[in-house]
């Protein structure tokens, strides 16, 4: 079994709903996103998936969030866009195009992230 990982990032604002504390106010992050795929079949070039192809798919999803107020996006109406929700959002969007998707991690700081995956 092989696992590949790519990293990218985006900048965006958000605020948490139903939260009592500073994060209930609008603020921004430079989010780091890690995307993992896994599989046991390599192509004729002995690669699981071309990194350029994987990065393109991930960046197509990320650009919908980049430099936005996430709370104002249709997919997040009345939803608190926490790191947990963002990791699931990116995962669901990518899973339709990348069946071998394993996990998405979203880092809001250098030492705090949330990951989403399905069993």
pLDDT tens for 51-68 read 999 999 999 999 999 999
pLDDT > 90: percent of the chain: 98
45-48: list long-range contacts, CB under 8 Å, 24+ apart: 48/2, 48/4, 48/100
pLDDT tens for 89-114 read 999 999 999 999 999 999 999 999 99
- Whether domain 2-116 has CATH 3.20.20.70: no
* pLDDT value of residue 17: 95
Which sequence spans correspond to the domains of the chain? 2-116
Cβ contact 59:8 at 8 Å:
yes
pTM to 2 decimal places: 0.95
Cβ contact 101:35 at 8 Å:
yes
CA gap 118, 113 in Å, rounded: 17
CA gap 13, 11 in Å, rounded: 7
Question: Tokens in use for 76?
Answer: 């997040």
Q: CA 40, 98, 54: angle at the middle one, nearest 5?
A: 90
Strand partners, 32: 9, 107
CA gap 64, 8 in Å, rounded: 14
pLDDT, average across residues 4-9 = 98
């Amino acid at each position: 079994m092989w696992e590949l990982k790519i990293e990218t990032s985006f900048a965006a604002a958000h605020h948490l709903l139903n939260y009592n504390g500073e994060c209930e106010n609008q603020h921004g992050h430079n989010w780091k996103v890690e995307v993992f795929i896994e599989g046991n079949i390599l192509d004729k070039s002995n690669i699981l998936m071309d990194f350029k192809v994987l990065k393109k798919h991930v960046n197509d999803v990320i650009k919908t969030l980049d430099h936005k107020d996430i709370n104002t996006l249709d997919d997040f109406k009345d939803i608190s866009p926490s790191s947990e929700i963002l990791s699931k959002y990116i995962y669901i969007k990518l899973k339709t195009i990348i069946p071998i998707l394993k996990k998405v991690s979203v880092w809001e700081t250098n030492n705090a992230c949330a990951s989403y995956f399905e069993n």
